[in-house]
Structure 1
């Protein structure tokens, strides 16, 4: 049979394309894979991505870019497959000796001395080759301008146009002879013809009709990488060296088999519009007024936009957001959901809740939810879901380290998932590093979204995963000024991409609400400096604020409010004064002091008839000291929760407290007396009910979050002495003649300015003679007052407030500027029309731990796994179970070892990374080989640098040395 593909070209072209290689035999299962074969494989994968994965909204938009319905699929496949055209250059073809010999024998030659030892990657070479070919094909400058960065950036970094040039302007690296130029042109044309572009000028026929938005370009860049990585997997795409077998039909067969074997799939596809009964069906009860308000606003919105839901703790914001997400997805063509939580601890229970919701939405959808955070392997539910899939090693390896990762972001020792067994998690491929957000549904920390706003390698994979989903972010008020820069940048890109976003908060300062809305709307207008929209303030609480771009490009909005389903609590405000000299001296020494004795005395009177108390301290050391004092008085009636408990203790104690103080259940019995001492862990997404709250001073919005744990549930029988909800504020000493004393540790965390303004409101209520706050009714007003600019503090505090304000504003500006170094878009470039130079100035490669520090402006912190070493070859898990003589871990002991995971204070990070490593018996273990083992002696102690560490089963990790509050 005559192959008529070559009728358009000189006879030698067929020989050239039959020699140009894309994957060497060593990287393609033992047989060289021709370059045209790999390009067609990638295009065929892209076709399946279009058919079975791309969100409906993305397909619609690509159809418009390509020139009409049905045309987007072919353009999408072309954009993905063309990525490796730069391999048709001497600088690449000389990299494999066998491949080089075949190319030379086919008649393509080059000066071996010109290319020897020269580094010029094929992604840059490809962009340069393609720019020239598209220009010759009479593509417009605008169309050429947005396409070449997709090729130049398919290995994760998108250069500037100037960075495409070969070293020393050596054109021989690209192939400047007539044969090379003809080979490159023929390769691109033959590839285009295989995809169905016909005629004498097939490349001209490829030209799109419209230039997509920059956000869509970034999304496409991510899908180019996705298709390339799948088609580069030699397990599924072995080499094809016979040009006669390199056809699009053959590539489609290979791609279909690979897709089926990988088990990849999208989300819910074209979701039908949920009816009025959907909420009842999903959650087992009808919507509360605030939940109905959210759904009503979403139905009335004129297009995809941003919805900000502000409602009291326990109002049911998450259920409202999930119901709204289903409605938004049906209306706007989103294919999944990402739900971001403030911490790993809050993400874990949300993972369970989202799976339950999806089980009601559609059959099997609950098995497509990925849990995304760095310690998901410690989550027992996640690990149970992985059982039988054969992917545990891949999951752990991809999340704990990038060691062994090849140029395609793949672990070099990854393996196929289990052929048998029912999948209960997304496909193994989605669980690899950087790919988590590509899962159809995902629950994780907000960091996952913030990473997508950083100018880091392969950021396009993260954005591609986000831009087809509905994005829900909970507790957004927790983002400080540094984190907020990444949040605002994310909202800018999501706005330009037309992604529906739901933000949840107990309440937001008016300025923060306006900034969030402005960032999203600026993205829809590609504006550099977002102008805050003239949004009216909500007139009630709970409230919903929605913004979206109107048909004429002008912002439109809805601001609505309703009544809470619960009546306001009249919360009494008291202050338990502390003295600066005693408190700060004791903090420096560690251990219980006068402040803890005062709490003990106070509770001795208030708990005469029993009761349940929540005490929130602002530092671990202070929580440990308070617990120590109370434990001596009340013994087993006291619990301690903080971030330096090892994973096993923390999970068990958290679960116990939630069961004892959670929502009343039939058959459950509330303790007669219980005191829970905790850090900020109890501040958010912690559904417990306390009869009495004692809390260190915090900024007003966070203080109100803590108050949300007070008298939270209905139907709870309380002692008479605690029948009136009361919050007792500590860490403060009020003085009529001067500014108050505020705990130094609290100022170090939150800054003095907002604490002073919050203290003014606390003093006003506490000295009013039975003064109360009406909660939640007064929540928006209290937050607005503290974060506003009106005079608030007493006259004797004014000078101190002015000094604190100057320091606070200086620090805010410094942190805002510091974030700017890492933001995805540099200052002044939000109006750019293409991705060219996106990664200019990118920092070096970052690990996952460094990512967390990057978006949270914190010092890097290390996690260690505690093990007890009782003898030379006697290693024990923290549970006491024995390990092998070198620390080897049997399968039945893995849980025991992982339960010893604990995060060290940031000041110990450098010492830990220098001194610690895995036990020798862990080096081949898929979950533990990159873990840091901290060996404790028989007394539970260890020395790390200049610090002495002790793990106490009651107190957790106790650190001696340095400043305890850091």
Structure 2
């Protein structure tokens, strides 16, 4: 079926129906050309990316473009099938025998594509025009599986399932599909493409599927690709598709920005450029070619690591290693802060002299809330605030979905969003493909536990396999983790086994601060000086119990000091806060900050904390102020205290907390020198496993690393001081030794058990993540009831809080000018499910404590969007108690957060 007659037949098969003008349908052939045009033009407009990506196929740049366009042009071939065509009876093709049957759901159109691509005649056509490696299960999976998951393994290879499904598609449809392929291929690959250098089919399958998914997303926009008469020939339609693809890519911000060839630190941060830190000067001296690479920066808090990383990212982009930058951070709060710093740096990262401004997005679970709050702030300040700038850069198409957020020119978000690219989730390849076009900056890498650490290794490996580059930032990265990251990147770059063994055996520098660079050859290590003012000597004082800590804090505050008390557990922080009130400390000079606040109250508290203890705080703000907090102040918040009191924790975390001491130059501090008091029993008395329990209570069990915690106490108390940066590496390496030979007998077995737990977490992570060495077709399907998380830990639940108003439940936290949807989001908090269930006998249908008034609850939830209606909702009575079906002693207010009545003073 060739020529005009053949064209008449396949033009009868619809791919899309009812555009805005209700002009019938778009035939399959036209839609295939739309998507092929987007894929080809996207690569052609991204020459630096094309140069990196072509190495996966082994072809030249122009040949790689034609190959990807041709394969994208086959992605919906399965729409020429009886089951698909039966979905729109009004457009049932006259070319098919019989009337339109009832819809057959045994085979989706993308599964039919997989079957058709393995038809012998279609395979013969492909071999005649395209390299032989396209006849590969992984490539078939990549082309067909563009709806988020790969075809089932039974649909790949010579299986009986394929033979059984051919009649479902229809032999008449198979014949028409052959004729369509025969006419498409000469348009998309006019000259036969021969095999080039070695093809990395597994890696190429991930990249190809990401590209096709993106191209299908853009090519399915009926505004950008309007319908034409179905009888229009493919030859006549093809130029229209190419022209429309160019316009669509530009309109959606998918044409890469130009990058300044020479970037200075002052272009990214005028403050840093005026007085560069040593690590920033070291970064300024680096030069890059087009070889993908990894850079690891280890330096203390406040050393300017972020600006150094952005400078390196800018240089990498100028060298063709990426078209944008994505900064991944451990928490939403740190991501929010980084988003603002990127906003200030973006004009130095991109040349905005062209037709558009660079796009900037925030990608995490609460990014929509952050954007709405920005917009609200802008309305309150007459539109003169930060939102005007952010909104001008915000690309709506990109921002609609966290799956596509990585396609923005610059973005900040949680590491969890990046981890979703290496978990077997829908559309993982779209995230991978976007990240491969970005310089991936991973901040606070030390914050990863064993499970997240293995995810990070897999993420780095896949980024390297797809031609991407990575920058790792950390203040306290252990040598073992540094080596694992380097070898993960080397593995992704295809380094041979013998060379990998040499990397494992190569000695790593113990210098600190340190910049490490790896581009596939030798490991480069560059020691850096410590930034002026960051080298310090902190007195370490052991406090035997919380009463001693309480007295120390009150005495220092009485002398006008700004004091931080950091507890490992929320309930411990709440108890300490209560004890300070009972001891008579003025409430207006006392703040409690933890993660168990409703979002609006937490944001307000964070703003207060930054005002009282941030870099711009004055002596009048700080005098006698005590902050009681949990780990929420440990990373990325620029806070400055005169005295730090902390629960005993792993030494790297204590170092982070100590980094909040005397952080900025201030005249007339009320204390003679920086002091950190650590609440802990004497480590010499550790004759029992539970040696911390009596002193720290629930906070003793936050970090289940008994050997690490005991060694941290031993070495810090033995030294009596923390000298930075000189002590950092020795303390961290000593604490995280695997061997138990220096531990008290009572802790040796527990230490081994904690190592076993870590090994188990790594095993779980390996089972949960994809194997970058295998292809897209081998990504396992996740069942509907299986939830794979980016973090391993106790189950948490989201809860919304409400108050009674005129018989109705309304959001407990409200902000002037906000809509009700935003107020409900501000009234949310996350809490450990086990903690919430403690003592609950009457449970709701969702397995949570039942509300006292389920009818009012259901009436309020009925007004929410459908996807939010499973969120738990509890009323807060006028006395602060949570109105549950039984008295559970739960209370909430904006000062103390969610707590139990049983949490009393220390």
How far did 1:638 drift? 0.9
Is the CA contact 2:295–2:518 (under 8 Å) kept in the aligned structure 1?
yes
**Distance in 2, Cα, partners of 1:256 & 1:922:** 44
1:841-852 to structure 2, matched below 5 A, reads 841-844=781-784
Inter-partner Cα distance in structure 1 for 2:814 and 2:554: 35
**TM-score (ref. length: structure 1):** 0.81
Q: 1:855: Cα distance to partner?
A: 1.2
For the residues of structure 2 that align with 1:873 and 1:324, how far apart are their CA atoms?
A: 55
Question: 1-side partners of 2:47 and 2:871: how far apart?
Answer: 38
Rounded Cα–Cα distance in structure 1 between residues aligned with 2:257 and 2:748: 54
CA displacement at 1:486 relative to structure 2: 0.8
Distance 1:83 1:249 in 2: 19
Are the equivalent residues in 1 in contact too, given 2:509–2:525 (CA < 8 A)? no
Where in structure 2 are the equivalents of 1:132-281 lying within 5 Å? Answer: 132=120, 133-138=122-127, 141-145=132-136, 146-159=138-151, 161-164=153-156, 167=161, 169-173=163-167, 177=171, 179-195=172-188, 197-198=189-190, 204-205=192-193, 211-212=199-200, 214-244=202-232, 247-256=237-246, 258-259=248-249, 263-269=252-258, 271-274=260-263
Map 1:3-18; keep pairs closer than 5 Å. Answer: 9=2, 12-18=5-11
Give 3-state SS (helix, strand or coil) of 1:370's partner. Answer: strand
Shift of 1:437: 1.6
Pick the aligned partner of 2:753 from 807, 814, 830. 807
Matched with 2:484 is: 515
Please state whether the residue corresponding to 1:348 is helix, strand or coil.
helix
Q: Which residue of 2 aligns with 1:750?
A: 703
Report the more deviating stretch, 901-910 or 78-87: 901-910
1:443 is displaced (CA, Å) by: 0.4
- Which consecutive residues of structure 1, in runs of 5 or more, have no partner in the other structure? 1-5, 389-417, 579-594, 766-770, 882-889
Please list the CA deviations of residues 749-790 of structure 1 after superposition, one character each: whole Å capped at 9, or x if unmatched. 21123212212223323xxxxx22212221111111111246
Of 715, 732, 737, 1:788 maps to 737
Tell me the residue number matched to 1:323: 311
1:348 to 336, 360, 366: 336
From the superposition, tell whether residues 426 and 168 of structure 1 become closer, same or farther in structure 2 (CA, over 3 Å). Answer: closer
Coordinate RMSD, CA, aligned: 3.6
CA distance in 2, matches of 1:843, 1:175: 26
Alignment pair present for 1:542 and 2:519: no
Alignment of 1:525-924 (within 5 A): 525=494, 531=501, 533-550=504-521, 555-566=522-533, 568-578=535-545, 595=546, 597-632=547-582, 633-635=584-586, 636-664=588-616, 669-719=620-670, 722-732=671-681, 734-736=683-685, 738=687, 740-742=691-693, 743=696, 745-751=698-704, 752-765=706-719, 771-789=720-738, 793=742, 798-825=744-771, 830-832=772-774, 834-838=775-779, 840-844=780-784, 854-873=789-808, 875=810, 877-879=812-814, 896-907=823-834, 908=836, 910-912=846-848, 920=860, 923=863
**1:457 counterpart SS class:** coil
Q: Distance in 1 between matches of 2:361 and 2:27?
A: 36
Judged with a 3 Å threshold, the aligned counterparts in structure 2 of structure 1 residues 494 and 180 are, in CA distance, closer, same or farther, namely same
Partner residue, 2:453: 484
Counterpart-to-counterpart distance in 1, 2:514 and 2:55:
38
Partner of 1:581 in structure 2?
A: none
1:376-413 deviation line (CA, Å, top 9, x unaligned): 2332576429989xxxxxxxxxxxxxxxxxxxxxxxxx
Q: Does 1:934 align with 2:880?
A: no
In structure 2, runs of 5+ residues without a counterpart are 380-387, 838-845
Q: Secondary structure at the match of 1:447?
A: helix
Question: Which residue does 1:954 correspond to in 2?
Answer: 895
Alpha-carbon distance between aligned partners in 2 of 1:217 and 1:872, rounded to the nearest angstrom = 58
1:58 aligns with 2:50: yes
What do the CA deviations read for 1:702-756 (whole angstroms, capped 9, x no partner)?
111111111111234211xx22211111154545473543445345321123212
- Secondary structure of the structure 2 residue equivalent to 1:243: coil
* Cα shift readout 1:149-188 (whole Å, capped 9, x = no counterpart): 22221111123553346858425436574x5444222211
Residue in structure 2 matched with residue 405 of structure 1 by the alignment: none
State the partner residue of 1:589. Answer: none
Structure 1 CA distance, aligned partners of 2:297 and 2:752? Answer: 32
Size of the alignment, in residue pairs? Answer: 861
- Alignment counterpart, residue 279 of structure 2, candidates 287, 290, 305: 290
Deviations 1:510-545, CA, capped at 9 Å, x for gaps? 111111111111111177996553343334221111
Taking the aligned partners of 2:880 and 2:520, their CA distance within structure 1 comes to 60
Q: CA deviation at 1:791?
A: 6.7
- TM-score, normalised on structure 2? 0.87
Question: In structure 2, do the counterparts of structure 1 residues 166 and 864 end up closer, same or farther at CA, with 3 Å as the change threshold?
Answer: farther
SS at match of 2:625: strand
Distance 2:815 2:402 in 1: 33
Q: CA deviation at 1:906?
A: 3.0
